[in-house]
Structure 1
Amino acid sequence: MPDARYLFAAVAVSAAVTWALRALPFTALAPLRASRTVQYLGARMPAGVMVILLVYCLRDLPLGSPAHAAAPLIALAVTVGLHLWRRNALLSILTGTAVNVALASTVFGH
């Protein structure tokens, strides 16, 4: 069995490293908050995320089969309409995703 001082030192070092690793992101990101690049990305990323989700969700859209294309297109209309109405990217993304899943698994399920 290791010495008590050794165990105490190991626990103290582990605690210090854990605390430092958890505090490091906050101290490293503090100067970045004033950065023009970070402010630009913060303003533009919601639209970028929505474009990526749009391309991902509609990449395999079967345009030859209206029954299979209906769920994603209805979800897209709900997402766009909700976003234009509320201007809340998170709300519109989550609601559009939920509508797509609900429609694809129930009404238009294959």
Structure 2
Amino acid sequence: MNINNEYTIVAILIMAVITFGTRLMPFIFWGKDKVTPKYILYIGNYLPPAIMAMLIIYCLRNVSLHAFPFGIPEAIGIITVAILHIWKRNNLISILSGTIVYMVAVQVIFI
């Protein structure tokens, strides 16, 4: 597939406008003077953990517990993320460190 530069620039601009628009909408609908509806607060509280749970399940769907390395690198990565997140309460540190530990385990230790 041959994609030219104009197509790429237009695609990036459209994505930027849509992303900015989705970030701007709550301020337009529920500004300083308006009360945020309860269902929006409910979604804000419960949707992020639900999405994280789905992402974890999606990432672990092809892990084989019956063949080498038996899911050990994945378990090490998950434990690293959990310990660092409980200790530091910083998403960036825990996810980045867990990813690095997992990649080292897969690429160096469990070859």
TM exceeding 0.5? yes
Compare CA radii of gyration and give the structure with the larger one: 1
Q: 2:26 aligns with which of 26, 29, 35?
A: 29
What CA deviation, in whole Å up to 9, does each residue of 1:16-36 have, x standing for no partner? xx9xx6875565321247343
Aligned-pair identity in percent equals 27
Question: What is the CA–CA distance in structure 1 between the aligned matches of 2:60 and 2:66, rounded to whole Å?
Answer: 14
Question: What is the CA–CA distance in structure 2 between the aligned matches of 1:88 and 1:35, rounded to whole Å?
Answer: 29
* Cross-structure match for 1:88: 90
Q: Normalized against structure 1, the TM-score is what? A: 0.58
**Post-superposition shift, 1:88?**
3.3
Structure 2 segments unaligned to the other structure (5+ residues): 1-13
Query: Aligned pair in 2 of structure 1 residues 86, 26: CA closer, same or farther (>3 Å)?
Result: closer
Conserved 8 A contact 1:50-1:93: no
Structure with more of its chain in helix, by fraction: 1
Question: What is the CA–CA distance in structure 1 between the aligned matches of 2:48 and 2:92, rounded to whole Å?
Answer: 8
Q: 1:38 aligns with which of 37, 40, 45?
A: 40
* Cross-structure match for 2:100: 98
Higher relative contact order (CA 8 A, sep 6+): 1
* Cross-structure match for 1:71: 73
Q: Normalized against structure 2, the TM-score is what? A: 0.57
**Post-superposition shift, 1:92?**
2.5
How many residue pairs align between the two structures? 90
Question: What is the CA–CA distance in structure 2 between the aligned matches of 1:94 and 1:62, rounded to whole Å?
Answer: 24
